[in-house]
Structure 1
Amino acid sequence: MAPIRKQLEPKRAFPFQIIYKQKKGLQHELPEHTHEWLEVIIIHKGSGTFFIDQTFYDLYEGDIILIPSNIIHRTIPDKDKLLTSTAIFFSSALLNHTGFGNSFLYWRIFEEAKRRKNYKYSFHSDHYKQLTQYLTILKKEAEMANPDQENALLVWLHVILLHLNRHCLPIASVPTEQSTFGPAWIREALIYIDQHLEIDLDLQYLSKRVAVSPAHFSRVFKNLVGVNVTEYITVKRVLLAKELLLNFDEKISTIAFQCGFKAMPHFYRTFKKHTSMTPSEYRKKNSLKDTNY
């Protein structure tokens, strides 16, 4: 099964969505997936495991997960302790439309999470209690049909992001303890894939590198990560290409080779399959998105 590109009503006038205190069992959770919006997950009850980028985290009450756009992630609830969580999804465009202050401030916690590959934070009880109060207000505003609803949602979203910045950034440089979920070799393989997308990678090569049989590698990888290793590598390459297209003015052919695509027709077909756009269309559309919500 290929990773899902989660649909979050991208054409809605106000690019925001909140799923408040949803209970999740194994049957309710999506397989490995990505989306264009930013996401904040707050764990209220239960336990489980969270896979993001190349890392597994144990989840407990009070944990916060910060998910930048275009990052592979997957929740694996504990079968005996259902997770209750709130998820906030929003477009990055909402962080750029402020008439005063430093709009980059709202980005910082996501930038730091991605730069340090450290996506999980645990709050002091007082800070967590304050956050849950903000979430309750945000949820109520989302349910009300007031003429100023969008303004209110934007204000409370910014308040929540400021709260996260104040209480997460001071500890961002301290690596969060990773889960021991699964064998050590799977974590070694995930890190290696992330750092070597430009070279030829396949099941035979990776299984040999971590000294397990290809059949065992394939079975365990799909069971823990949620997708087969070939598709996982392809999606990681496409996500890297998307990032390079938006942040660097390199030729598309140069970016393709940097991401491990050896032939341009294959790159174009694969990129369009996963994004429904050609690389040039994606670059053009997303370079203008900040002014188009």
Structure 2
Amino acid sequence: MMETIYSSSTEIYNEEITYQNPLLFLKIFELINESAVHGIPDPWYWHCHKQVEFLIVTEGTLGIQTKDAYTLLEAGDVMVLGSSQPHRTHKYSAAPLRQIVFQVDLMQHFDLSAMPYLHCFSELTHPLESFNALFRQNAEVKRAAYDLILGIYEESQSQKLGYELAISAGIKNLLLLLLRNDNRDLTALTEDTGLSRLRPALDYVDRHLSDKIAVEDVCSKLGLSYHYFIKYFKKVMGLSFVDYVNYKRIKKAERLLLTRDLSIMEVSFEVGILNMAQFYKLFKRHNQCSPKEFKQRMRSQTSLTPALAQ
């Protein structure tokens, strides 16, 4: 099921994933395209979904664009797309294309034993897309991830006795592979984060991004003093409350620039930043380009410079 969020020349679809096994919170399937037709389609639509997506290519070449880059995936390549990250793909060459798409709600696979590592895979402080650099730089890790995803697919197809256990183990092993081979210092994130206690504050921010957000109003939602809340939030989330709000506002701005025909000023106001100089500064800090440059880059279909994944 696909729902159009905005109707424009750059429509983006919010895909509602129907799980093959509701207890595993995942959908994994193979796409085969043997047609000689290839190249960028017109129109070329964006889509997103709340589930994390892993892609592996078993034959041919897949072109994929995210907000960060246009990449070519060839046989043996692996790519991960974080939750709710817009992306679009196409068949790059006339040769047959075979790919496996693995969509999963990773958070559902963190049981009590794995919970201390939940924040190591946080979209807020450590976007999952950063693991793609690991796949590019470490052929052994890429191959291991490829084999694990392929194994999960094969188990889902065979549905032999205990396949649910095999799939759950495969997902845990995939997370372990990423965790142990990540070059970032994740030791500070392995303690219980208390994220559930902050949930009302995070939900409040999501609902009021277009408004002025006062720390005092958020504190009252949790029944915490101002100073305790500021320290507690930084400890749990790994960044300050102000930085978190700015992060969420810029992410919303990216989506508006991608999908709505609004001026830069209108986008700035829509995300609750009334000072244009501040909006430009924050946007450039997160994207290394201006909002105008971002909009032009993301809407361009003719100036894509492919980068090989390996």
TM-score (norm 2): 0.48
1:88 to 88, 102, 106: 102
Q: CA deviation at 1:152?
A: 2.4
Task: Specify the code of the residue in structure 2 equivalent to 1:38.
Answer: V
The correspondence for 1:52, drawn from 43, 60, 66, is 66
Q: 2:24 aligns with which of 4, 8, 14?
A: 14
TM-score (norm 1): 0.51
Superimposed CA distance per residue, residues 93-147 of structure 1 (whole angstroms, 9 cap, x where no aligned partner): 3232243573327626996345869678326444444334323432232124456
Measured at CA, do residues 157 and 82 of structure 1 come closer, stay the same or move farther in structure 2, by a change above 3 Å? same
Letter in 2 for 1:12: P
Pairing 1:32-71 to 2, within 5 Å after superposition: 32-71=46-85
Q: Shift of residue 40 of structure 1?
A: 0.9
Q: Percent identity?
A: 11
Equivalent position amino acid for 1:17 in 2? K
Query: What are the ranges of 5 or more consecutive residues in structure 1 without an aligned counterpart?
Result: 173-243, 265-293
Aligned length: 192
Distance 1:109 1:128, change over 3 A: farther
In structure 2, the partner of 1:150 is 164
Instruction: Give a deviation string over 1:14-48, Cα, whole Å, max 9, x none.
Output: 31111246447659998310001011112233224
Q: What is the Cα-based RMSD across aligned positions, in Å?
A: 4.2
| Letter aligned with residue 19 of structure 1 | F
Where 2:45 maps in the other structure, the secondary structure is: coil
Which of residues 160, 165, 189 is equivalent to 2:174? 160
State the 1:91 CA deviation. Answer: 0.9
- Superposed displacement of residue 90, structure 1: 0.6
Of stretches 23-32 and 96-105 in structure 1, the one that deviates more from structure 2 is 23-32
The answer to whether the 8 Å contact 1:41/1:86 transfers is: yes
Deviation at 1:255, TM superposition (A): 3.6
User: Deviation at 1:159?
Assistant: 0.9
1:245–1:255 CA contact under 8 A, matched in 2: no
Which residue does 2:207 correspond to in 1?
A: 252
Q: Deviations over 1:70-93 (max 9, x none)?
A: 110011221323432222111133
| Alpha-carbon distance change, 107 to 9 in structure 1, aligned in 2, over 3 angstroms | same
* Structure 1 Cα separation of the partners of residues 74 and 105 of structure 2: 27
Amino acid at match of 1:170: N
CA–CA separation in structure 2 for the residues paired with 1:101 and 1:251: 24
Which amino acid in 2 is paired with 1:14? Answer: L
Change (3 A) 1:64 1:112: farther
Bigger mean CA offset, 109-118 vs 60-69: 109-118
1:83 maps to amino acid: L
Counterparts in 2 of 1:157 and 1:250: CA distance versus 1, 3 Å: closer
